[in-house]
Structures are given as C-alpha cells and as structure tokens.
Structure 1
Amino acid sequence: MKTLFLIDQIGTEHIFEASPQRIISLVPSQTELLYDLGLEAKIVGITKFCVHPYHFKSTIKSVGGTKKVNYRKIKELQPDIIICNKEENTLEMVERLREICPVWVTDIVTVEDNFQMITDFGQLFNARTEARKWNDKLTFALGDFKKFINGIPVKRVAYFIWKKPYMVAGSNNFINELLKLNHFENIYSTKGRYPEVAIEDIVAEGDPDYIFLSSEPYPFKKEDGYEISNYTENAQTVLVDGEMFSWYGSRLLKAFVYFKMLHSNLGK
C-alpha cells in the first residue's frame, strides 16, 4: 500500500505508511459509521455512549465517555488511530491522546462536511468502495427529501437540548443545518451555538410555532412539554429523536425517513 498523506477536518496533516488497523472511536455517531463501512473487526475501543450497533457494548471495550476517558485503557489497546470530533471531544483530551497515537478529528457542521468525513474514512481505512456507496445513497436520499420538503412552508422552532439550565441549539452546528433543511426557522439562530435561555422570554424571542424537546443529551419527557407550554401562546411542544437531528455519518439516511414522518405528524 502507498503512503497515505491526508488532512483531517481541523487541518491537521497525517502521514500513514499503512492503513490503520486498530481503531478507537470516541464519537457515537462515528462508531456507527465505521460499522456501516464494514470496519467492525478493526474497532478495538469505544465510549459508553456508543450504543449503535447494540452488540458493541458487549463485544468492544469501553474506554470512558466523550469528555472523559481512561488513558491507561486506551494505551493498553495499542491503537493505530483514535477518531475524535471537534465538538464532542475536548481539545485537552485530543492533545493528550496524541501522545499515544495519531488522532483524527472531524468537524461536522453541514451535510457537505458529512460527505467529506465519509470520503475521508474511505481513504483512511481502505474502504473506498463502501464509502462511495454510502455517499451515493445519501446523495439520492438528500435529493429525494428536498423534493418532499419543497412545498412545505417554513415554520419557526426552538430546539431544546438541556434543562436546568434550559439550553437550545443555536447556529453553526449540525442540528441547525438539519432544521434549515427541514424548513424550520430556528428562533435562536443569532444567539450563539448552544445558548442558555430564559424560558419566560420565548415568546419575545420569536414566538415559535413548534418547540422541539430532544431525547438527548437531556431526555425530555411529556411533562417537560406541559411545563414549557405554560410560557408560550401558540407553540406546539413536540418530543423529537435527538439522534436523528444531531448524529451525522450513516445515521443521516434514517434521519431523512424520520423527518418525513415528523412532518406528516405535525400536519395532523
């Protein structure tokens, strides 16, 4: 195999004399993507939050979470590469992990970034054919969804990700990009990436048509919707699947199906 000269999504240059054979993934959605690219046999370590595919929790060693890991366990697994993400993992963590082996960092804000990540993984792990297949499937699904959404009017939304304090998805993140793709206007898109908000000001902030309560990272329940609805005038509170709005990689294919169902239910 030829020497690989590749640049990750934060601009770090990498040189590999051979395709990495022992992978540790510290990002749940990227673990799922690696599996879908046919790389299960190369994955030696994951986080406790890597819940897809389900059997990984019993077959692959957990090395901690996305913000805090066990460096000793990671070193003992002798990885050739560690896969991280700019948003999910801390800079301090990435810098310390670089003392063990090369760390590939992704940065996913747009759907285009997602396509690039899949292409990069195809080159990095000698899985170009599978990567091309996934990008082709996602390209077709994206085109199909754009046709579906074309006649649906834009609605104002607030997308909640946390409680105590209340936090929402703002701008410059993957959630907001998928909201826009769905013709949802984010009323907090000028407030930063993940701003803390005062629930009593929600009408003044933009009086949304819908309030989306995500299943992750905070697991909102129906009772939370009742509580928040006391501060709105016309907004409908909706529990949404956080994985569909925030997981990138191959999960996007399932997300397009989910989004169609969501719009159908909102229209009832």
Structure 2
Amino acid sequence: MKTYTDQTGHTLTLSATPKRIVSLVPSQTELLFDLGLEDSLVGITKFCVHPYHLKSTKKIIGGTKKVHYEKIRLLQPDIIIANKEENTEEIVNSLREIAPVWTSDIITLQDSLDMITEFGKLFSVRTAAAQWIDKINYALADFQKFMEGKEWLKTAYFIWKEPYMVVGKETFINEMMKLNHFSNIYEEREGRYPEVIVQKMRIQGDPEVVLLSSEPYPFKDEDAFELGRHTHHAKTVFVDGEMFSWYGSRMVKAFAYFKQLQERIEEPV
C-alpha cells in the first residue's frame, strides 16, 4: 500500500499502480497520453480533444462540470484524475465513493511541473515524467531568453461575453501572461475571473493589447471591434486559449506559440 497527497492536501491510498484511469481534465488527459499511459486511460470528458483519436477509443463520461457517475462506476477505475478549478468539490466528493480521486490545483508553472512529477510516481512512469519536465524547462528557458529586453505591455485577456469576463489574479493564464510581459490591467480586481464593464476600460487601465481567447467563448471580429473602440488604439489579438490555459505537456508547444504571438503583436498595424 502506498499513500499519496494530491495538490489540494487530500490523501489517498493505493494498493498498486493504477491501471484503469478516468480523467476529468482535458490538459491532464493529454499529459497522461504523452506519459505513455494511453492504454490505461479508460474514461475521458467530451472536452478532452487532444489527441483527437481518444474521443473514438475511450468512454466519454460527460463534461468537466457535469459527469455521468454510473458510466464512471461501470468503468471500474483504479483512480480518477480531477482539478480544483475544472471540477466542483461536489463532483470530487461524489467520485470518491467510486474510486480514489487525485486532484490537481494549478496556478503557477511550478504547480504544473509538480503535477507531472507526481504522475510519474503515481503511474510508475518516472523517466517519462522527468523527460517532459526537461523539455518544458528547456522551452521555458529558451522563451525567457527570447523575451529579454522586450517591454511590458498593459493587457486585458477576455474569456467571456455577456457578461464580459477577464482573467484576474491567481490563475495559470495570468502566470503565462507574465512570461509574455503582458501586464494584466485587471490583476488587482477581486476574483480570479472578474466581470468587467468594457466601457470603463480606458479609466481602468487602458490596455495597449486586448487578447481574445478562443475558449471558452468563441470571440469574433465584431467583438474585437467593439472592445477595441473602448481603448485608446489597443491592438486586439485573437489567441489560442489552450496555449495559455492548458498545463502539462502542452506547455512545450505553448512556448513556441508565444514566440509567434510576440511577433504578431510587434507587427505594425
């Protein structure tokens, strides 16, 4: 028997290395695949879109906020992988009646690296986990060198419309913004994803860059125009939300994407 403590402080005991895994978090599903655990994955959410073929080979057990408990029970999982932000406390508590639940709590890049390390221990894939951590650290160091000397830009990162919602403090996205030298004008607002009145953007920070995420809300050109006119000539840029919000192995691709994004922002209007 081995005892593990997840990132929320919950302790779980396993009698053997889990061979049947249900994942409730898209970025963690991708990580499990990249750690060589495809055969052990038995259940995923409808939002687990990377790699794409998993949707046709694994059981879909619902979404991240609404899961089908009986489908999960019938899969007879040895462990369920959840996340504090993606899945509600009620869901996690209910799932503990089915199988041990390991819940991540990711705010910083280090939190993500710690999760990869723990997955290495949990699933006996320490070598693969260490290799991915090395890849991420190499890509991070390369990107930090790329960013040396680049000015910080006042930025607003929008994730939702009606009401308009932005990225705030204590979020993984905000940490990725900092690496890009995006100074979040809403970082001091109450809440992690505060609602904002866009008509007040000029007096609440007047961003130089407005980022419109591809998820969870699919912003369109008319949204970019609407938001842009409430600033003093901010550059409005559509960004791939996965690159800012997916932690785990996705970060290697994210740092390459961020280089391209920086070049787009530097292009003259």
TM bucket, shorter chain: over 0.9
Deviation string for 1:9-47 (max 9, x for gaps)? 001112212011100000000000000000000000000
Task: Tell me whether 1:265 sits opposite 2:261 in the alignment.
Answer: no
**Count of matched residue positions in the alignment of Structure 1 and Structure 2:** 266
Cα separation, 2, equivalents of 1:23 and 1:222: 40
Contact 2:235 2:265 in 1 (8 A): no
Contact 1:110 1:173 in 2 (8 A): yes
How do 1:206-217 and structure 2 match up within 5 A?
206-217=205-216
Cα separation, 1, equivalents of 2:262 and 2:227: 22
Contact 2:46 2:60 in 1 (8 A): yes
Contact 2:77 2:99 in 1 (8 A): yes
Q: Which residue among 39, 57, 60 is the counterpart of 1:59? A: 57
How do 1:10-29 and structure 2 match up within 5 A?
10-29=8-27
State which drifts further: 227-236 or 122-131: 227-236
- Structure 2 unaligned regions, length at least 5: none
Given residue 257 of structure 1, which amino acid in structure 2 is its aligned partner?
Answer: A
Cα separation, 2, equivalents of 1:97 and 1:16: 16
- Structure 1 unaligned regions, length at least 5: none
Runs ≥4 in structure 1, deviation > 3 angstroms? Answer: none
Deviation string for 1:96-149 (max 9, x for gaps)? 000101000000100000100000000000110100000011111111111111
The CA deviation at 1:193 is 0.5
Match of 1:69 in 2: 67
What SS does the corresponding residue of 2:129 show, helix, strand or coil?
helix
What SS does the corresponding residue of 2:102 show, helix, strand or coil?
strand
Contact 2:208 2:234 in 1 (8 A): yes
Identity of aligned residues (%): 60
Contact 1:170 1:176 in 2 (8 A): yes
Deviation string for 1:48-80 (max 9, x for gaps)? 000000001111010000000110101000001
Contact 1:222 1:239 in 2 (8 A): no
Cα separation, 2, equivalents of 1:232 and 1:147: 31
Cα separation, 1, equivalents of 2:204 and 2:106: 27
What SS does the corresponding residue of 1:203 show, helix, strand or coil?
coil
The CA deviation at 1:232 is 1.4
Match of 2:244 in 1: 245
Match of 2:195 in 1: 196
Task: Tell me whether 1:225 sits opposite 2:219 in the alignment.
Answer: no
Contact 1:167 1:196 in 2 (8 A): yes
The CA deviation at 1:4 is 2.3
Match of 2:112 in 1: 114
| Cα-Cα RMSD | 0.7
Given residue 222 of structure 1, which amino acid in structure 2 is its aligned partner?
Answer: D
Q: Which residue among 98, 101, 104 is the counterpart of 1:100? A: 98
Contact 2:168 2:184 in 1 (8 A): yes
Task: Tell me whether 1:82 sits opposite 2:115 in the alignment.
Answer: no
The CA deviation at 1:267 is 0.8
The CA deviation at 1:88 is 0.4
TM-score, with structure 1 as normaliser: 0.98
What SS does the corresponding residue of 1:205 show, helix, strand or coil?
coil
TM-score, with structure 2 as normaliser: 0.98
Given residue 205 of structure 1, which amino acid in structure 2 is its aligned partner?
Answer: Q
